[in-house]
Amino acid sequence: MLKSRAQTLAANLALRQTRLGVLILGGAVAGATGLALVRGENRPGWPQAVAFAATLSGSSAVGAWLIARQPSSNPALAVAGAMASSALRIFVPLGALAWLQGPGTPLREAGADGLLVLFYLLLLAIALGLHIMWGSIRPK
C-alpha cells in the first residue's frame, strides 16, 4: 500500500522532531556538564561525579524520549511504550541513587547524588516541554 504525500510528510516531520529532541536533550546534558565541571573544578572526585551523573541521566532521558516517540496505532502498544519510557526515565537514576547510598562510595562523597538529582530534574523539565510541544506520534 502506497503512502499518501501527507502521510509521508507527517512521518518526516515526526522523525525530524525526534532527532531535534535528541539534540536538545544532548545539548542540555553537555551544557550542564560544562557548568558543573567549571563550578567544582577544585573538588576531589568532582569530574568523576559529574561524568557519572551526566551519563546516567543523559542516557536514560534520551532513551526514554526515543521510546516515547515510537509511533503506534494500537492503543495497548502506545500505553506500553509510555510505561516503558517512564520506567527508563525513573528507574535508572533511582537505582543509581540507591547504589550511591551504600557505605564508602567515593562518588557519593564527591557529590554525585546531588548532581544526579539536578541532571534528572533538568532533563525531565526539558522532556516535558518537548512532549507538550510535539506530543506523541499517531499514525493514521
139 pLDDT more than 90: no
pLDDT of residue 12: 81
The pTM (predicted TM-score) of the whole model is 0.86
In sequence order, the 6+-apart residues with CB closer than 8 A to the CB of 58 are 25, 26, 29, 119, 123
Main-chain dihedrals φ then ψ at residue 130, nearest 5 degrees: -65, -40
- The Cα–Cα gap between 47 and 79 comes to 38
Q: Tens digits of per-residue pLDDT, 46-104? A: 999 999 999 999 999 999 999 988 887 888 888 898 899 999 999 999 999 999 998 87
DSSP 35: H
